[in-house]
Amino acid sequence: MKRHALLILLFLIALTGCNVGTQPPQPIASPLGTPEPVSTPLPTFTPIPAFTFTPTPVVISMQVTAELVNCRSGPGTIFDTLSQIAQGRNLRATGRNESMTWYYVNDPGNPGKFCWVSADVVQVSGEADLLPIIQPPLTMVTNVDLRVEPNRIVVNCNQFPQTVFFEALVTTNGPTLFTWKWEISTGAVSDVGTLIFQEAGTQAINEYYQINSANDYWVRFYALTPNEVMRQVNFPVSCTP
């Protein structure tokens, strides 16, 4: 019995000795090496352009019923006349004022341009209320005519001072508050003046100045509002002893 137990013990010792120094199995390296990560491109998004809707311009036909119609720069008799249209002429209106008392039409006397006719002198074919509302134009100074009197002075040198008179004829295309000033080559500058235009037209602004010696002078007239315009006139002054 003891011999049998001894044999079992020797067998267990031999079995344990076989496991001493045994290393765990190592992973086998791939012959291709470690694969690099593959990047997948992100999908690109192409925006779809928004749909834009352009409305078709409304055009209404009308015929002139009065003998001779003034076509004006704005919706009212306070605006200047751009052309005159004979009775029976067909017009194309593309706009109106808010009260539908004036229509914005192609100017037959100035191709490519527009003017305003009164609703009282035309017969409309169509629904004029569909026309878009057109705002009145900005009133502007359209012309300044500057004059000096006398425009040349020749006197004896003992006859100074001499007085010169200036006149500016200012034209606007409608009602406006007009401001202006004068400037003389001697350095004198007037105060800012104010003039009210009740309607389109021309008004005169007068001024005078005393010249004390012979020289070549100039006078300038500045329109300040509603828009800036400058005019200059030169006038020589000479004397004999």
Token reading at 29: 């390296």
Query: Beta strand pairing status for 122-125 and 176-184?
Result: unpaired
**Extents of the domains making up the chain:** 60-130, 141-240
Identify any residues that bridge with 68 across adjacent strands, giving them in sequence order.
86
Cα radius of gyration (the chain):
48
Residue 54, pLDDT above cutoff 50: yes
Which residue, 63, 49, 106, 60, is CA-closest to 83?
A: 106
pLDDT band, residue 21 (cuts 50/70/90): very low
E strand residue ranges, the chain: 60-64, 68-72, 81-86, 90-96, 102-106, 114-118, 122-125, 141-149, 153-156, 162-172, 176-184, 193-197, 201-211, 215-225, 229-240
pTM over 0.75: no
Q: Give percent of the chain above pLDDT 90.
A: 75
**Where residue 57 falls among pLDDT bands split at 50, 70, 90?**
confident
Mean pLDDT of 125-138: 94
The pLDDT of residue 235 is 97
**CATH homologous superfamily of domain 141-240?**
Immunoglobulins (2.60.40.10)
The encoded tokens of residue 53 equal 């809707």
What pLDDT is attached to residue 35?
Answer: 54
Closest Cα partner for 205 from 162, 169, 172? 169
Q: Give the CATH architecture of domain 60-130.
A: Roll (2.30)
Query: Which residues, at least 6 apart from 188, have a Cβ–Cβ distance to it below 8 Å?
Result: 209
E strand or H helix that includes residue 14: helix 2-19
Phi-psi domain of 109 (left: phi exceeds 0; alpha: psi -120 through 50; beta: other): alpha
Span 227-239, average pLDDT? 97
Q: Is it the case that residue 38 has pLDDT exceeding 70?
A: no
Confidence (pLDDT) at 46: 64
C-alpha 145/C-alpha 27 separation (Å) is: 105
pLDDT band (50, 70, 90) for residue 172 = very high
- How many CB atoms are closer than 10 A to CB 28? 6
Poorest-pLDDT segment among 45-59, 74-88, 132-146, 168-182: 45-59
Averaged confidence pLDDT in the chain? 86
Q: What is the pLDDT of residue 22?
A: 47
Q: What are phi and psi of 218, to 5 degrees?
A: -140, 155
The string over 199-236, giving b where at least 16 C-beta atoms fall within 10 Å of a residue's C-beta and e elsewhere, is ebeeeebebebebeebeebebbbbbbebeebebeeebe
Residues 61 and 124: their CA atoms lie apart, in Å, by 6
Residue 34 and residue 231: Cα distance in Å, rounded?
88
Read off the pLDDT of residues 87-120 as tens digits, 9 standing for 90 and up. 999 999 999 999 999 999 999 989 999 999 999 9
pLDDT at residue 163, rounded to an integer = 97
pLDDT mean over 147-170: 97
18, pLDDT greater than 50: no
Residue 219 in tokens: 């006078």
